[in-house]
Structure 1
Amino acid sequence: MERKLRAYSIIKTLFVLIALATAGCHREVAMPPLPLRNITLSDKFFDVWPTSPTRAFIVGDRGKVLLTEDGGRTFKRIDIGTQLGVFGIQMTDDQNGYLCGQDGLVMRTRDGGKTWKRLDSRTHLFIFGLSFPDTNHGYLVGDRALVMSTTDGGESFIKRQLQRLFPPEISDYALPYEEPVLYSASFVDVDHGWVVGELGRIWATENGGKSWQEQQQSLLPQWKRPLGPNDDARFADFLLPTFFSVSFRDQKHGAACGLEGWVIQTDDGGKTWNFAHQADKPGAPLDTLVPGAVQIPARDPLFSIDLFGGDQGMSTGLTGTVLRLQPNGAWAHDPSVPAVPFPLSQVRFFDATHGWIVGYGTILYTEDGGKTWRYCQG
């Protein structure tokens, strides 16, 4: 009998404790959820487009689109109605703009980026880059040598594959070089533009895309890498490094960068291109590396390049690499940019003073021409 009473007492005590705990929970003040951060280390930002010294759009993975109007001190997230990755964005003015991305994604805004409408691109290929010289005329490039153009603001698109046509007698050998990916386009007006991509492709047009000319041939004599045992001399210009980004200041002056960390430059509209030398830091001696020669350690791939102002330029790459154009035409590692051990996908300047760098979990802003940079926390 005593054992039963003891057991009953223990059970009663447990019920009392549970009741007290439950009552205590009901008396607790509910804590509001932590605010969602607009910028996290897991974000992958691919492009940025400033529309004023302090206003800019930033796009990235999983359909993420951010807008800042105060130089990156605060950001507003814009719901574009998709989780597809956004690879590129361009605003042609304060109200009109376009973006592109995965699964043939092309969208347009007519209200300053508040709302975005998906356009019928008639493709499911990835679209990696775009260039709109004005609100109605635009060019988009992507997978499998895709080039799309519009003259009516995206109401309709003309599609083509921008690639070399090989003679029938070597077409079987040319299979590895067919349909190269095109990554970037730069148009300075509705007629003059350039496209770069995989396998060293450089294409140019002077008539709004009605016809295109290859321009990478001038790089072949400079590229000293010997042919490998499985390389075919008939396709030597397809063994040039892949180019990820191209930027033209005007119809004459342009630059591109890519996979093996090289920058190429032209001052005659691409009739001739030259590999640019690099330096460890501004004012340091230029390297003597021969283009195509094996370098140990290898250079970081360069993902973006931007020519801005009258004579400025900057390029960003894999492990936080940032190069700055020097007065002598060389490119030097820029110590002014904070050391970031992450890929830096894009650099863009609104003018010679105000600029942005975005990448994986990173947004940087300068308002003094790149002398100092500020981390944007979101």
Structure 2
Amino acid sequence: MERKPRAYSLIKTLFVLVALATAACHREVAMPPLPLRNITLTDKFFDVWPTSPTRAFVVGDRGKVLLTEDGGRNWKRIDIGTQLGVFGIQMTDAENGYLCGQDGLVMRTRDGGKTWKRLDSRTHLFIFSLSFPDANHGFLVGDRALVLSTTNGGETFTKRQLQKLFPPEIADYALPYDEPVLYSTRFVDVDHGWVVGELGRIWATENAGKSWQEQQQMLVPQYKYPLGPNDDPRFKDFLLPTFFSVSFRDQKHGAACGLEGWVIQTDDGGKNWRFAHQADKPGGPPDTLVPGAPHIPARDPLFSIDLFGSDQGITTGLTGTVLRLQPNGAWAHDTSVPAIPFPLSQVRFFDAQHGWIVGYGTILYTEDGGKTWRFCQG
């Protein structure tokens, strides 16, 4: 008869111990949640646009838009109401700005970036770049040779394609060269602008996009790429490396960069382009490599380029590559930028002293013209 009370007592004791342990566990996990970080290693930042020496917008994957007012020490996330990737952003003044991205995404702000409204771009193609010389006039480029333009701040868009029309007798053979992707555009004013993209295409306009002219022809004889057994000599001028980014300091001086790590430059608005040489170190002599020739050392692709100040320039690329324009005209690895083994998508300077570099999990800021860079956290 004693077994029942003893068994009941044992069960009761175990129940009390479990209850105490459960209560203890509850006390342990009742901790405040960790703050949500605005910048993580998994972020993919594609563009940055500074609006003052210390204020800048950064955009990236999954609809992420960040704003800093203090040189990157603190960040605020802006909800734009979409999870689509944002590839480009530009503020035309303190209140007006635009962004673009996946699935034909084009958005506009009229209140300094606090709120964003999606516009009817009339396309679902990826839009990779945009350039607005003022609040009303803008150009956007993307997949399948897409060019969008607006003259009324995005209320309506005109859509066209920038691609070469081949003679009927070779049109069927030219299918691999149809509808090249356009990756970057830059307008220095309403009339003068450039577009670069796949297959080394360069287009320019001097009349606000009413007509366009190809400009890459000067590069073809400079690019000593040997024809392969399957290369049709009729399309030799389509064997140039793809260009991902273009920048112009003014109507005359411009540069572009791209797939094979080459930088091209012009001093006459693109009538003549040339491949720029690189140096093994800052201040070193330019190399003597011939673009496109066999046995050229592999170079990282360059994703962005920015000409700033009166004579400065920086380009960024894969595996943290950063090249800087040297006084002798060559581009050399910039040793002042921290070594980062991640793609660096975009570089933009607000003025000769204040600039930004963004990439995968990375935001860098300088306030001394690039002599030193600070990692931004948030």
- How would you bin the TM-score normalised by the shorter chain? over 0.9
Q: Tell me what 1:367 maps to.
A: 367
Inter-CA distance 56–295: structure 2 relative to 1 (3 Å threshold): farther
Q: Tell me what 2:329 maps to.
A: 329
Q: Which AA in structure 2 matches 1:141?
A: V
SS of the residue corresponding to residue 320 of structure 2 reads coil
CA offsets per residue over residues 184-219 of structure 1, 9 Å max, x none? Answer: 001000000000000000000000000000000000
Counterpart CA distance in 1 for 2:110 and 2:158 is 22
Q: Which AA in structure 2 matches 1:137?
A: H
Q: CA deviation at 1:89?
A: 0.2
SS of the residue corresponding to residue 190 of structure 2 reads coil
Q: Tell me what 1:310 maps to.
A: 310
Q: Tell me what 2:216 maps to.
A: 216
CA contact (8 A) 2:289 2:296 kept: no
How much is the aligned-residue C-alpha RMSD, in angstroms? 1.4
Inter-CA distance 363–325: structure 2 relative to 1 (3 Å threshold): same
Q: Tell me what 2:109 maps to.
A: 109
SS of the residue corresponding to residue 299 of structure 2 reads coil
Q: Tell me what 1:71 maps to.
A: 71
CA offsets per residue over residues 286-344 of structure 1, 9 Å max, x none? Answer: 21111002446410000000000111100000000000011121111100000000000
SS of the residue corresponding to residue 12 of structure 1 reads helix
Q: Tell me what 1:203 maps to.
A: 203
Counterpart CA distance in 2 for 1:148 and 1:340 is 35
Structure 1 window deviating more from structure 2 (9-18 vs 49-58): it is 9-18
Q: Which runs of 5+ in 1 are unaligned?
A: none
Q: Which runs of 5+ in 2 are unaligned?
A: none
Q: CA deviation at 1:272?
A: 0.7
Q: Tell me what 2:118 maps to.
A: 118
Counterpart CA distance in 2 for 1:26 and 1:172 is 71
Identity %: 89
Q: Tell me what 2:270 maps to.
A: 270
Inter-CA distance 273–296: structure 2 relative to 1 (3 Å threshold): closer
SS of the residue corresponding to residue 234 of structure 1 reads helix
Q: Which aligned pairs between 1:1-378 and structure 2 lie closer than 5 A? A: 7-24=7-24, 30-295=30-295, 297-378=297-378
SS of the residue corresponding to residue 148 of structure 1 reads strand
CA contact (8 A) 2:95 2:111 kept: yes
Counterpart CA distance in 1 for 2:299 and 2:174 is 29
SS of the residue corresponding to residue 319 of structure 1 reads helix
Q: CA deviation at 1:25?
A: 5.0
CA contact (8 A) 2:226 2:294 kept: no
SS of the residue corresponding to residue 246 of structure 2 reads strand
Q: CA deviation at 1:239?
A: 0.7
Counterpart CA distance in 2 for 1:293 and 1:27 is 69
Counterpart CA distance in 1 for 2:287 and 2:24 is 71
Q: CA deviation at 1:12?
A: 2.1
CA contact (8 A) 2:43 2:60 kept: yes
Inter-CA distance 296–219: structure 2 relative to 1 (3 Å threshold): closer
Inter-CA distance 25–164: structure 2 relative to 1 (3 Å threshold): same
Inter-CA distance 26–125: structure 2 relative to 1 (3 Å threshold): closer
Q: CA deviation at 1:285?
A: 2.3
Q: Which AA in structure 2 matches 1:13?
A: T
Inter-CA distance 102–11: structure 2 relative to 1 (3 Å threshold): same
Q: Which AA in structure 2 matches 1:97?
A: G
Q: CA deviation at 1:4?
A: 5.3
